[in-house]
């Protein structure tokens, strides 16, 4: 009896739940119908964001299957956007993503910036300058970077401002219909989203009702199986009663007990049949309610199709209106141009009349003044002839002076070349003497050992140990001699190449690192004498077509200037670095860690004859020659940066191909 009572309660609870669900569905439909004419601010913004995508084209849509819309600073708009399904746009699905900061714009195609995130507009606009990103803002202050700016007009209205030029500058293409987006279309879009949301909810409820119906059918099947089991039990008990016919008393007792059990079973069977009848009645009610909900769903779908058809008609009307407006604008522009042309012609005629009147007045004055002007002209001509003769004489003198200056400048440059070449010869001579002395010493030692070996051979005292000792020492001496003579040959080759480059101003292609190593090797004796170390940090295979002689003279003058002026005491560090820069150019930097220069000296470093070592043999021509070689010979540019006690850096920007 307890089981039957629990089954009844469970069935009644499910029936009540289904009734409440159907009542809630009916209330949802009624509330939707009653609230169609009132729109929230979030619904209007969501409808506008979805409508804007239809009028803007991204440059790579042919290779895309989705667009991503970001919501920054307005969670309620994000919740409204994801509350209803969004139809694809031009075959691309729309993904909605909520953002909390401007650094999350990676992969975003359109972003809406709410009023609470207006402080992040600058970062958003900076991102829009780098890639196609449509920015929709909601800010009262209109800016140059603005693309689409929303302005809340009232509770149910939304105005907007569109900057077509700014949208096109980002690589996007906006249709003219974007400017014709009206309130009716937004209301239709809001109603469409509401209908889609209601349709989705009804579809979900319909699936739930079908699930409940299947569960009820299963429970009914279980009850039928229970009734079949009870009937089978009754039949078995009845057969047992017939089989048990013994004594009358036993039969009577068994009969009474079996009858009581049978009576209970019959009562339980009647109760189960009554429950089954009630559930069949409730099942019919549920099926009837389900058919009514399906009919209501079909009506909602029909209304949705009608609204979509009306929306398409409004879009067609908007397109026609846009075409008429564009035609009217063209006609109006032509008429305005004709009016401007007519005004221009009238203004020209008035100006011509005024000019003729002024010309007549001037001619009258000219007739009176022509005699006086003629006398002044004669005097002016005489004065001009005299001044012309004097200026011509002065020009000839200036030309001769300029030629003398150019000749003196060439001589100074040649003298500096010869001085640098002299330093180069002295350094190479010192460098060559050392390996030559080692080679001569090794050769002399081999010669002496060979004489000793001959004496031992003549005396017959030559042993295997003596011969092997001579061979090992001679091998070491010859190897040392070969290495030093090879070094001498390399030094002489570098010297010849550098000397030829300094004397011949011809262009050729050089490996910058290899060539600068050769130049610095010829200057190594002076650097070692001053206790200065140098480092060359230049990429491999950095080739230039330039004038090597001018390059060698520039490096020589820079090294000499650093030795004389940068380091007060022996010791220091020089560094040469180079890299390729934009414009097919090479940036060469010559740095030292010396005492640096004050601003006064730095401003006059390229002035001719300016030197801080006047009493110590300085001429003040080294750096002006470097400046002229870089600017005139190598067609480049040179700059210098120096700080007292922190060293000096010369930066040369040279063309990679002269």
- 505-655 matches 58-174 in CATH topology: no
Q: Check residue 156 and give its pLDDT.
A: 61
Fold of the 58-174 domain: Rossmann fold (3.40.50)
Does residue 127 carry a pLDDT above 80? yes
Query: So what's the pLDDT on residue 77?
Result: 86
490-522 confidence digits (pLDDT tens): 556 555 545 544 544 678 899 999 999 988 887
What DSSP line would sit under 189-245, residue for residue? Answer: HHHHHHHHHHHHHHHHHHHHHHHHHHHHHHHHHHHHHHHHHHHHHHHHHHHHHHH--
Chain centroid, CA 519 distance in Å: 43
Length of the chain: 658
Place 636 in a pLDDT band, splitting at 50, 70 and 90: very high
Taking only the tens place, the pLDDT of each residue in 270-310 is: 787 788 788 778 778 877 877 787 787 778 778 777 877 87
Distances (CA, A) of 594 to 483, 520, 588, 615, 640: 36, 18, 19, 21, 14
Minimal CA–CA distance to 500: which of 484, 522, 527? 522
Each domain of the chain, given as residue ranges in start order, spans 58-174, 505-655
**Could you tell me which of 533, 575, 538 has the C-alpha nearest to residue 558?**
575
Structure token digits, residue 192: 């469409």
Query: What pLDDT is recorded for position 374?
Result: 72
pLDDT by residue (tens digit) across 209-241?
777 778 777 877 787 787 778 778 877 777 776
- CATH class in words for 505-655: alpha beta
pLDDT beyond 60 at 159? yes
What is the pTM for the complete model shown?
0.33
Q: Please give the Cα distance from 626 to 634 (Å, whole number).
A: 10
DSSP letter at 175?
Answer: -
**How much is the pLDDT for 186?**
67
Q: What is the pLDDT of residues 300-330, one digit of tens each?
A: 778 777 877 877 777 777 677 767 777 877 8
The radius of gyration of the chain from alpha carbons, rounded to an integer in Å, stands at 53
pLDDT tens digits, one per residue of 475-492? 777 776 776 676 666 556
Section 109-121 average pLDDT? 87
Rounded to the nearest angstrom, the gap between the alpha carbon of residue 655 and the centroid of all alpha carbons in its chain is 30
- DSSP letter at 594 equals S
DSSP string, 100-119: SSGGG-TT-SEEEE-GGGGG
């Amino acid at each position: 009896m307890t089981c039957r009572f629990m089954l009844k309660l469970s069935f009644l609870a499910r029936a009540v739940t289904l009734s409440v669900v159907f009542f809630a569905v009916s209330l949802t439909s009624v509330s939707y119908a009653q609230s169609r004419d009132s729109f929230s601010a979030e619904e209007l913004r969501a409808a506008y964001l979805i409508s804007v995508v239809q009028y803007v084209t991204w440059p790579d849509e042919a290779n895309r299957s989705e667009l991503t819309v970001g919501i920054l600073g307005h969670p309620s708009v994000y919740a409204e956007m994801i509350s209803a399904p969004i139809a694809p746009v031009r075959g691309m699905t729309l993904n909605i993503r909520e953002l909390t900061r401007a650094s999350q714009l990676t992969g975003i195609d359109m972003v809406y910036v709410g009023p609470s995130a207006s402080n992040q507009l600058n970062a958003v606009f900076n991102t829009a300058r780098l890639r196609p990103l449509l920015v929709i803002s909601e800010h009262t202050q209109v800016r140059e970077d603005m693309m689409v700016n929303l302005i809340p007009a009232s509770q149910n209205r939304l105005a907007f401002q569109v900057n077509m030029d700014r949208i096109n500058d980002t690589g996007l293409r906006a249709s003219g219909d974007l400017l014709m987006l009206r309130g009716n279309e937004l209301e239709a879009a809001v109603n469409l989203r509401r209908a889609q949301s209601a349709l989705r909810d009804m579809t979900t409820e319909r699936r739930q009702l079908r699930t409940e119906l299947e569960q009820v059918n299963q429970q009914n099947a279980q009850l039928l199986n229970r009734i079949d089991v009870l009937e089978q039990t009754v039949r078995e008990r009845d057969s047992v009663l017939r089989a048990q016919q013994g004594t009358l008393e036993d039969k009577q007792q068994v009969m009474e007990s079996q009858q009581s059990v049978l009576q209970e079973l019959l009562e339980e069977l009647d109760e189960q049949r009554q429950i089954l009848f009630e559930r069949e009645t409730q099942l019919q009610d549920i099926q009837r309610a389900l058919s009514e909900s399906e009919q209501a769903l079909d009506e909602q779908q029909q209304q949705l199709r009608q609204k979509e058809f009306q929306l398409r008609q409004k879009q067609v009307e908007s397109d026609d209106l846009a075409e008429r407006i564009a035609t009217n604008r063209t006609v109006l522009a032509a008429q305005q141009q004709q009016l401007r042309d007519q005004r221009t012609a009238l203004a020209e005629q008035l100006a011509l009349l005024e000019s003729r009147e002024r010309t007549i007045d001037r001619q009258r004055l000219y007739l009176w003044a022509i005699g006086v002007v003629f006398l002044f002209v004669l005097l002016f001509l005489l004065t001009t002839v005299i001044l012309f003769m004097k200026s011509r004489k002065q020009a000839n003198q200036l030309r001769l002076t300029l030629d003398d200056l150019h000749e003196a400048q060439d001589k100074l440059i040649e003298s500096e070349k010869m001085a640098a070449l002299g330093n180069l010869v002295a350094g190479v001579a010192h460098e060559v003497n050392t390996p030559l002395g080692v080679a001569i010493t090794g050769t002399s030692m081999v010669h002496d050992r060979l004489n000793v070996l001959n004496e031992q051979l003549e005396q017959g005292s030559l042993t295997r140990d003596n011969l092997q000792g001579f061979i090992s020492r001679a091998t070491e001496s010859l190897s040392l001699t070969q290495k030093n003579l090879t070094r001498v040959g390399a030094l002489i080759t570098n010297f010849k190449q550098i000397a030829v480059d300094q004397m011949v101003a011809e262009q050729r292609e050089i490996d910058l690192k290899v060539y600068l190593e050769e130049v610095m090797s010829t200057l190594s004796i002076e650097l070692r004498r001053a206790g200065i170390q140098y480092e060359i940090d230049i990429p491999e295979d950095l080739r230039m077509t330039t004038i090597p002689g001018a390059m060698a003279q520039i490096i020589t003058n820079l090294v000499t200037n650093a030795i004389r002026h940068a380091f007060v005491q022996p010791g220091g560090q020089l560094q040469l670095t180079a890299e390729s820069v934009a414009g097919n150019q090479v940036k060469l930097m010559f740095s030292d860690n010396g005492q640096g220069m004050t601003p006064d000296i730095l401003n006059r470093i390229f002035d001719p004859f300016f030197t801080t070592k006047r009493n110590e043999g300085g001429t003040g021509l080294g750096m002006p020659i470097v400046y002229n070689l870089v600017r005139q010979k190598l067609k480049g540019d040179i700059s210098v940066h120096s700080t007292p006690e922190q060293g000096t850096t010369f930066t040369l920007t040279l063309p990679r191909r002269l």
